Structure formats: C-alpha cells, structure tokens
Structure 1
Amino acid sequence: MRNKSAAVDYGMIVIGTVLMSMGIKNIFDPANMVTGGVTGAAIIFKDIWNVPLWLSNTLLNIPLFIAAFKIMGWTFIKRTLFATVMLSVALYVIPDGSFMQDDLFLSALFGGIIGGVGIGLVFLARATTGGTDMLAALIQKRMKHYTIAQIMQVLDGLIVLVGATVFGIRAALYALIAIFTVSKISDGLIEGLKFSKQAYIISDHHQEIADAILKEMSRGVTGMTARGMYSNSEKNMLFCVVSKKEIVQLRELVSRFDPRAFVIVSDVREVFGEGFIEY
C-alpha cells in the first residue's frame, strides 16, 4: 500500500512538472513574463545570455541542493530533487512555441492556471521544484524570526523586479496577475475543491429540525447547549455540515419548522469523514 501511495505521488510530480514546463516554456517565456523563482531567473538569463531554460534551472539548483543536503539531510531533499530533475527534463523535451501569441492577459491568466495546477500537484505529492522554496528554507534556518513564506515573497519579488528592468514594467505587471492566479489555483488544489457549508441553528423546535435533517437529508447533526446573554436563558443549538448544493434545502427545512429560527451559515474549506472527503 505504501509503495502504491509513493507511485501515485511520483506520478503526480511527473504530471505537475510537465504542466509547469508548458506554462514556463510555451506561455511565460514567449511573453517575457518573469513570475519569480528560479524559472523566472532562467527566463532572464535566456534573454540576456541565451542560456536554455533547462540548463539555467539545473545550474541554479545544484548549489542549493548541495547546501540543503548538508544542512537538512537526504530525507528533506529526495522528492524535491526528483521534481527538480523532472522539471529540467520537461523544459528540455517540450518543444519551443507560443500558445497565446502576443496576448499578455491570456498568457498571464492561462499560464497561471496551467502553472498553478502543476505546482499544486507537486505540492500534493509533498515535494517542491527547488529554487526559491529551498533557498527560503535554508535562509530561515539562520533567520528564524522570519517565516519561509515571508522570505520567499522577498526573493520572488527581487526576481520580478529584475525582470521589470529587463522586459519592462508592462510585462512585470502582467506577471503579477500570473503569480496571483498560480497562487489561487495551487491553493485550491492543496486545500481541496470540495468546499462545504456549516450551519448553526438556534430554535425552540430544535428536535423536529434535527430529526428532519437526519431523515430527509441523511446528514449528521450535533446538539449543543447555548446560553443567550441578553435573556440569560438556555437554548439548544444545532450544528451540521452540508454540501453547497444542500444549503438551500437546509434553509427551507428550518423555515418549515420555525420561520423565526436564528441560522448562521459559513464556508468550510475541507471536511473529512463519512459523506465527505475520505482520508
């Protein structure tokens, strides 16, 4: 079972790095968009010194991996090493070409979507593609009062700034759109796309509502004792989690038994367990 899980993870890394390479080589590079990271630096080097993307990605990562191996050990770098090698291989194998021609907005949007899905798959496999992720982790070892995310923002910001001086401010501004899109798409994959809704229900008809939720919606419901601070009286509060499409049914169900019920509904990013995402 463990071998099967590892095989799935490495398969996700392969697919993710291929998608990342397509976004970098066929969308961001032709549009001169520097989106941060080592691959962003590689785009700059290609323009200035005509160094191939795969070669820059490899050469820039070598000293980082040597330092990471000495400081953090093999366990820390093994999956990231595989992901970085696969990214360089994909950048070498995938043919040159532009998917979006000269449309910078579409390049930023769809490059961000493709790159975000790729990065999300790599992160889900518990790996990174090296670069500023690893450099930030190494710096954080010495500067513990900063988080890795904060250090990454500074490093990527510097690379984007250099890109603006090489390719102009217009390409840099579109690159920021791409960075935002990559972040949102990858976060969506990592946190889960099965968003749900949670509801707190305060009603004098709590028992009838709870029975209806259990029978009509086949959803679990939890009863809790709550005290109203204005009236100083105890009430029963129901708590349940439903899918997005079921929230309308839940509101109608509550209204049927008690139109004056007090209901609080909010978003839930992920729900694990029976009826939702399995572990």
Structure 2
Amino acid sequence: MEISSNRPVYIDYLLMTIGTCFMAVAINSIYDPISMVTGGFTGIAIIVKAYSNIPLWLTNIMLNIPVFLIGARIKGFRFIARTLYSTAALSIWLYVLPTMNIMTEDYILAAIFGGVISGIGIGMVFLARATTGGTDMVAAFLQHYLKHYSIAQILQLIDALVVLAGAYIFGLNRALYAIISIFVVSQVTDGIIEGLKFSKLAYIITNHQDEVANAIMTVMERGATGLHATGMYSSLEKKVIMCVVSKKEIVQVKEIVTQIDPNAFVIVSDVREVLGEGFMEYKFNK
C-alpha cells in the first residue's frame, strides 16, 4: 500500500501562486517602505535597493540564479522544480504589484501584520511542498558539508546575519521590530502547516478507570485508551486513561472525572493536529 496525496497538482501550483502573492504584498507594501529587514534574500534585496535603487524582484532573481544552478547540479532538477516555480512567481509578483506604504511609520503594526501576511504566504508555499529558494536552499547546501548542524540551525544563522546587516544600515530600532515580525511569521506558518484545529489530550490517573473510561465512551461517544503504568512510589500497577477530545469537550471530560473520582489526577495538554476517526480524516491510495 502506497501513501500519496489525493490533491491535484494544479492545487499545489495555485497555492504557490497565491502564497507568493501574499509574500510579495508584505515585502512591497510593508517591509520595504520602512526598511525592515527580516532575513532571507528579500532582506538582502531591501538592503541592496537602499544603496543602488535596484528593484527587489531583480535582486531576488540574481541572487537565486547561482543557487538554483548549484541545486540542479547537486540534487537534480526534480528537487528544485517546484521551488523554481515559487521563486519565479515571487519575483513576478514583486515586479507587478505596486509599492505602497500601508503601515506608514507604525513599526509595531508593520511587524505584526507583515508577519501575519508573510506567514500565511509562506505556509501556503510549504503546503505545496515547495520553498521560495533563497537562504533555505543555501542552508540545505551548507548542511551537506556541515553535517554536525541541522538545516534549521544554519538557516537561523544566515538570516541572523542578514538582520544584523539591516540593523547596521537602518538602525537597531528597525531590527528589533524585524525580530518581532520573524516570530509572528514562524507562528503563523506553523499554524498553516500543522493545522489550526487544536485538540486536547487528557491523561487520567484514577482508581476507577473502568467507570471513567465507560463514561467517556458512552456519554461523550469518544474513544479512550488504557496505558499500563506503575506507580514509582506505591509500586502498584494501574491503567492510565488517555483520550483526545476537542477544546470544548475537555470541560466535560474533567466534569466526568470529578464526579466519579474527585481524587483523580488529570493531565491536560494541547494537541496541534489529530488524524483519524472523529477528527481529521485521511485516505490511502491502494
């Protein structure tokens, strides 16, 4: 049995097209007008434009050309095909979209909304199993030789150097706001990729495990799993009930447990995404 995506290929390219449009709006209309450098090749392009008036789209293309040539030679064309499309789409959007100063001089709004818009765009590109090239690919190439470091670590270092360059040229104040924007981008991107349908995971330690489990399964119509555990202090073996419910249902779980066993020990944690019956369905192609 082979696992594959049921999503048509054109949907991926649509995601890349729309996602790069969002990114270009953030760059052209928020970051560039107030010289906020948030890392990446677009950050370098903002710095270059400040000294030479070379447009962002042209710098982005010129920086990516050698990166893609190296990528095609090391990894093969199939590895860079989607990323090549998304990089080209971003450069085209940077060229055709007008430059407007949406946030004027309000740096905190620029950092937050720029991060949200850019994060949505990057998340859509990642959902299409692509990137926009730039420092992502540079980090991947360097990791080929610096195997003791992860791609994420190398990427963070490269982007940090770009932000520091922006701080040197445009001032520390803008760089600090850029860090806020980078944080917002990462949070929004993670939400897009990992899903926004948060659930709750509950571990219930009780001496009335059968009653609690039955109540959860019959009253709430939710599944429950018994995990074998041993108390390290008492050396007694017991079952820990594990169940996953929606955010609204966790209140009912705690009420059920409290009614049956007020002395029960309950651990509740956040779950980013749940696949399976009763939650997000997934399919296999046979």
TM-score normalised by L of structure 2: 0.94
2:185 paired with 1:182: yes
Partner of 2:74 in structure 1? 71
2:37 to 26, 30, 34: 34
2:65 is the counterpart of 1:87: no
Which among 210, 216, 227 is matched to residue 230 of structure 2? 227
Mapping for residues 54-69 of structure 1, pairs under 5 Å = 54-69=57-72
* Matching of residue 245 in structure 1 with residue 248 in structure 2: yes
Aligned pair 1:47/2:53, yes or no? no
Using the alignment, how far apart are the partners of 2:151 and 2:227 within structure 1? 40
CA gap 1:191/1:3 in 2 versus in 1, 3 angstroms: closer
Aligned residue number for residue 111 of structure 2? 108
Aligned position for 1:19: 22
Q: Greater shift after overlay, 128-137 or 262-271? A: 262-271
Q: Residue in 1 aligned with 2:121?
A: 118
Quote the offset at 1:46 in angstroms. 1.0
Greater than 4 Å deviation, 4+ residue runs: 1-4
Uncovered stretches (5+) of structure 1, i.e. residues with no partner: none
CA distance in 2, matches of 1:268, 1:239: 13
Distance 1:165-1:232 versus aligned 2 partners, 3 A rule: closer
Identify which range, 54-63 or 198-207, moves more after superposition: 198-207
The structure in which a higher percent of residues are helix is: 1
Q: CA deviation at 1:217?
A: 1.0
Query: 3-state DSSP class of the match of 1:245?
Result: coil
Partner SS state of residue 126, structure 1: coil
Deviation of 1:172 (Å): 1.1
Counterpart residue identity of residue 138, structure 2: L
TM-score by length of 1: 0.96
Question: 1:197 aligns to what?
Answer: 200
Of the candidates 130, 134, 155, which is equivalent to residue 158 of structure 2? 155
Instruction: Give the whole-Å Cα distance in 1 for the aligned partners of 2:193 and 2:154.
Output: 21
Per-residue CA deviations over 1:192-230 (Å, capped at 9, x if unaligned) read 212211111122222221111111111100123322232
Summarize deviations over 1:121-156 as a string: whole Å, max 9, x none.
111111000000011111111111111111111111
User: Identity percentage over the alignment?
Assistant: 58
Distance 1:209 1:176, change over 3 A: same
Deviates more, 1:76-85 or 1:187-196: 187-196
Q: Residues 276 and 24 (structure 1 numbering): CA distance in 2 closer, same or farther, change over 3 Å? A: same
How many aligned residue pairs are there? 279
Deviations 1:94-144 (A, max 9, x none): 111111111111011100010011111111111000000011111111111
User: Among 2, 8, 13, which residue is 1:10 paired with?
Assistant: 13
Which deviates the most, 38-47 or 226-235? 226-235
**Of 259, 263, 267, which aligns to 2:266?**
263
3-state DSSP class of the match of 2:8? helix
Q: Which of the numbers 114, 137, 141 marks the counterpart of 1:138? A: 141
SS in 2 for 1:270: coil
Is residue 2:205 matched to residue 1:208? no
Distance of 2:231 and 2:172 partners within structure 1: 56
SS in 2 for 1:224: strand
State the secondary structure of the residue aligned to 1:85. Answer: helix
Which sits farther off after the overlay, 137-146 or 25-34? Answer: 137-146
> Offset at 1:231?
2.2
CA distance in 2, matches of 1:235, 1:152: 46
Q: Secondary structure at the match of 2:34?
A: coil
Q: How many angstroms does 1:157 deviate by?
A: 1.2
